[in-house]
Amino acid sequence: SEILESTDYHWFEKILEDHPVADEKLFRSFVTSDEYKIIQSGLHRGPYFTTRVDLKARAKIINDFDPHLTLVVHFDADKNDAWQTREQDVRAYIPGNVLSTEYSSREQRFATARTLLDLPRWTQSAMLTTTVVKNLTSEIGIPLKTTETDIGGIRIVDGVYGRNLALNRQINRGAVAYVEVLHYNFKSDYIQLANANKRAEINGIKFRYPARLDAIVNGFKNGVLEYVDGVR
């Protein structure tokens, strides 16, 4: 899969130009290239499976289910190894702001065009995402992100950014809201999420969980209900 997606890259085309005949020289040049060695290296297998194969599998399951709407729920952190007290906001992404580096393969171009040219789906995704982040910020008491730009994204409305994320372009059924709920390494939320102070039982399995999740779930629930009421 990784090699197939590389067919439009310059290094791949250069090898074909240098060896127009499919023979041993072409094969040797290909398998000894630095780029092929990188693809084969164990060092990169984690990113390949996590950010590519795994995401494709998730998108396929969602598309096969043919949902009316999809919620992608993320908890973010500005650092992985320390808590912080500076940055805390609610934000979410819908398709948009395609960067030049995101046109590097036929598959990427097809998925991007299919998503951005489907105006009804884009509009419904914007409506769903807007109601979800509005209700989330109300329930959990964290403000919406309001800057003009985000990492790889541009602001559509407060808390909603256009960004060409893999799942945003690969899911092609129903409205999609890709939500960054909060920064879990923000000191106050880290403490709340670490405190399993509620009890619950599902299918006979008893467990504990942080009460902070109740507010988050209510935000999503109220956002979805408001969206559904608006499109009925």
Structure tokens that stand for 72 in this block? 């992608």
pTM of the entire structure? 0.80
Would you state the pLDDT for residue 144?
98
Would you state the pLDDT for residue 221?
98
Share of the chain above pLDDT 70, in %: 100
pLDDT band at 53 (very low <50, low <70, confident <90, very high): confident
Q: Would you say residue 2 has pLDDT above 80?
A: no
pLDDT band at 55 (very low <50, low <70, confident <90, very high): confident
Please state which of the ranges 90-94, 105-109, 154-158, 180-184 shows the lowest mean pLDDT.
Answer: 105-109
Alpha carbon of 98 to those of 17, 20, 51, 85, 174: distances in Å?
29, 33, 18, 32, 20
